[in-house]
Chains A and B, each alone.
Chain A
Amino acid sequence: MSDPDPVPTLRAKARELLEQGTVRAVVGYQSHAESGLPVPAVITRPDQAEALVFNPLCAHNLSRYVQGGAEKPVAVVAKACDTRALVVMMQESHIRREDVFVIAMGCTGIVDAARIDERARAPWRRIEAIRTDGDAVAVETDAGVARLSLTEDLLPRCVACPVPQPVIDDVRLGDFPEAPPGRPDPLAAQVAEIEAMGRDERRRFFSETYNRCIRCYACRNVCPLCFCEKCFADETRPQWVPRSTLGGGNELYHMVRAMHLAGRCIGCGACERACPVGLPLMAVNTKMAQVVDGMFGHVAGVRMDDTPPFAVYRDADPDLPGHGGGKS
């Protein structure tokens, strides 16, 4: 069943859910009043549903907004990949399935908004319209049309999209690709590149990377799966991580966060996109997902009936070679 423009259906669905009191809020995308870029919106009144949009610039993983304290039940507009975060939250008993109405949106990839700057004729201030025709995305700005491609200009995590079908949904709108696109994964390539470095070079790469961190915690706060009520990084008694940026505090913060996301990170890349200083945060997350997959055969959030590896103990759990732990 093909639905070339699912936005009217999306608006009608959101309106209906709010009117009937099925949900207390709908988390979706709306166009920013100034830039016209899609931004997250939490709407609670039926009349606000008319402002909802969906287009190939909708990068945010909105499952972030159904974390703990959010009003429930809540409907969330989710791309297939975003549903994986909801699944992990449910597997970890952070949210209940019945509290979330999943509006799954068909998606063939999200384009990198930074490319608009490169393709518009002049510095643009406002997007007037976003038109998709097959592989082509025409972003009409006040400074001319920026033509982007759904193969050439994708966000890194979309290039090899491993999960084009939503894992859970209550309604599906739009067209969903049947299978992954089968392109090489640039994130895996980045991991391979870092692994190919010598020990000293890799050490230098990580310290230079984390030296630039300004500890704004955008990576953590935008992450759908960083939902601890109190983050270790904010603890002061005891202070697990130095708040100072002079010593190893930055690195420690990022490494511990990556460990806390091992087997949980669904690779949405929200952290990396949120980073104001452009740290390549997905490299470590991608590596961590590879390790967990290799050792435990677990890919986070792709099956509702999975048990997260952190939640089970098996006698046969493998150890990293050379890290024998208690077993021999």
Chain B
Amino acid sequence: MKGTPLFLPGDRVGSWVGALAGSSTVFGPQVGSSGRPEFALVRDPSAVDLSLDARRASIRELWMPQTEILFRYRLDSQGATLEAVPRPEGSRVAFGIRPCEAAAIRRVTHVFRQGKHPDPLGLEAEGMAIVGLYCASPRRTCFCAQVGSPVDMAEEACDVLMTPISGGHVLHVMTDRGGSLAGVSGAAQATSDQVSAAGAVHAGLITAVPADGAIGALEATALEVWASEVFADQGARCIGCGVCTFLCPACHCFDILDERQGTGGARYRCWDSCQFDHFTLHASRHNPRHDQAARLRQRVLHKFLYMPQEFGVTGCTGCGRCAELCPVGISIRQVVADVRAAMAQEQGVTVA
């Protein structure tokens, strides 16, 4: 693990969050109004609780709100008057998100950076500082260690990584920005015992995620996997809702719509999902992704084929939310594993 390790006693987390909140907008794990853990804007630093398991909450809100007004307009006899909506200003800190989530947030910036005209709305993810929190144990559907390594993801994406050990957290500072963040924590240099305790936690998570199901980018062309029966099999039970995509920390598709009331209104951006049946519906009523199998294939190939081809990284970091929350138990890890197994078998048959 890179970076100089520091140690922050457990009872100092609140004051650190308070210090960060003094100069930045901070988001952290808290108990929401429903009584469930969620990532939300920190109003009261003492409400941030790193022992909460907020790994089910969507973190997309942190960098891409579900609904975001782009501008307002008024219509009169002279035409339309546009009114800008101010963008959030100042630095923002995501506090206590997991390495998989952090990596997902960073990876989507590739998409918004490509081409001649980078999209500033998508690049807000890049500007957000991340204080990551390493997991002591995986959730049931977690598979970070099967699509890579949570340690690598932390190094890839976090400005500071907190690793829970007895009595507090070891802080690994990864970036200059992280140095400034950790600088107000009051953390002292970690002892070698503390550093090795953190190392044990790092290795422990990787061991706790079964290694036998390792998957990665699909090494194939789209044509080679296009007709795989796996998509049809799994697509047969897909109900076409947006749970997987809306909870995914790396999904980023949106729609742009106008909402008008009387003579005025707003143009806004809101989340959209490739799993919805109208996502690719053409005005002619033709729909190139005409069934749920085709839509499932799109989700899987986008993350495990197109993103690796375009940017050299998978669009999935194994957070497992989609599999945990899918109402009908579709697991992207399983789909990819099945596609890979089918490919291997096919190649085997060809060779023989």
Interface residues, chain A, with chain B CB atoms under 8 Å away: 32-35, 37, 39-42, 60, 64-65, 117, 123-125, 208, 212, 214-218, 220-222, 234, 236, 239, 242-247, 270, 273-274, 276-278
Known: A215-B66, A222-B327, A244-B270. A34 touches B334 (CB 8 A): yes
When the two chains form their complex, are residues A32 and B331 in contact, meaning their CB atoms are under 8 A apart?
yes
Most chain B Cβ neighbours within 10 Å, of A34, A65, A208: A34
* Nearest-neighbor residue (CB-CB) of A211 within chain B: B33
Known: A60-B328, A65-B237, A216-B246. A123 touches B58 (CB 8 A): no
From A123, A214, A218, contact of B140 by CB (8 A):
A123
CB-defined contacts of B236 to chain A, threshold 8 Å: 41-42
Closest Cβ–Cβ distance, residue B325 to chain A (whole Å): 4
A37-B329, A243-B270, A246-B67 are contacts. A278–B34 as well, Cβ < 8 Å?
yes
Q: Which residue among B137, B237, B242, B259 has the maximum number of chain A CB atoms within 10 Å of its CB?
A: B237
Most interface-central of B241, B242, B246 (chain A CB within 10 A): B241
CB distance from B58 to the nearest CB of A (A): 7
CA distance A245 to B60 in the complex (A): 14
Name the A residues within 8 Å of B266 (CB-CB): 244
Given contact pairs A123-B140, A215-B66, A244-B67, A222 touches B239 in the complex (Cβ within 8 A): yes
In chain A, what residue has the closest Cβ to B242?
A: A216
Per the bound structure, the CA–CA distance linking A138 and B36 in Å amounts to: 28
Whether, in the assembled complex, B138 has its beta carbon less than 8 Å from a beta carbon of chain A, the answer is yes
A221 and B237 in contact, given A273-B327, A276-B325 (Cβ under 8 angstroms): no
The answer to whether A216 and B243 have CB atoms under 8 Å apart is yes
Q: How far is the CB of A58 from chain B (nearest CB, A)?
A: 12
Q: Which residues of A contact B323 (CB under 8 A)?
A: 34
B75 within 8 A of A: no
**Per a CB cutoff under 8 Å, which of B58, B242, B328 touches A39?**
B328
Nearest residue (CB) in B for A60 is B328
Per-residue CB proximity of B126-142 to A under 8 Å, as 1/0? 00000000000111110
Task: Report the separation of the CA atoms of residues A242 and B255 in the bound assembly, to the nearest whole angstrom.
Answer: 13
- Asked if B202 CB lies within 8 Å of chain A CBs, one says no
Q: Is the CB of B257 within 8 A of A64?
A: no
Dominant secondary structure of chain B at its interface with chain A: loop
Residue pair A217, B242 in contact (C-beta under 8 Å):
yes
Nearest CB of chain A from residue B192's CB, rounded to whole Å: 30
| A-B pairs with beta carbons under 8 Å apart, 14 shown | A34-B334, A124-B140, A208-B33, A214-B246, A215-B246, A217-B242, A221-B241, A234-B276, A244-B270, A245-B66, A246-B268, A274-B243, A276-B247, A278-B36
| Contacts known (A33-B334, A39-B237, A276-B325); A218 close to B67, Cβ less than 8 A | no
B2 to A: closest C-beta gap in Å? 29
Which chain A residues lie closer than 8 Å to B329 at the CB level?
32, 35, 37, 39-40
Q: How far is the CA of A303 from the CA of B271 in the complex (A)?
A: 42
Interface bracket on B? 35 or more
Inter-chain CA distance A216–B326, complex, in Å, is 11
8 Å CB contact of B210 from A42, A125, A220, A245? A125
A244 engages B327 (CB within 8 Å):
no
The CA-CA distance from A65 to B237 in the complex, in Å, is 8
Inter-chain contacts of B32 with A (CB < 8 A):
212
Q: Please state if A34 and B327 are interface contacts (CB–CB under 8 Å).
A: no
Shortest beta-carbon distance from A277 to chain B in Å: 8
17 further A-B contacts with Cβ under 8 Å, apart from A39-B237, A39-B328, A123-B140, are A34-B331, A123-B137, A214-B58, A214-B246, A214-B271, A215-B242, A216-B246, A218-B239, A221-B239, A221-B240, A222-B327, A239-B257, A243-B255, A244-B67, A244-B266, A246-B67, A276-B56
Identify the closest chain B residue to A43 (Cβ): B236
Q: Which of B81-127 contact A (CB under 8 A)?
A: none
Q: How far is the CB of B291 from chain A (nearest CB, A)?
A: 9
With an 8 A cutoff between CB atoms, is B30 at the interface?
no
**Across the interface, do A218 and B243 meet the contact criterion of CB distance under 8 Å?**
yes
Closest to B266 in A: A244
B residues within 8 A CB of A236? 257
Bound-state Cα–Cα, A278 to B327, Å: 12
Cα–Cα, bound, A234→B241 (Å): 12
Q: B43 an interface residue at 8 Å Cβ cutoff? A: no
**B residues less than 8 Å from A274 (CB atoms):** 239, 241, 243, 327
Chain A residues, Cβ within 8 Å of B278: 234
Bound complex: CA A245 to CA B239 (Å): 22
When distances are taken between beta carbons in the complex, the residues of chain A under 8 Å from B137 are 123
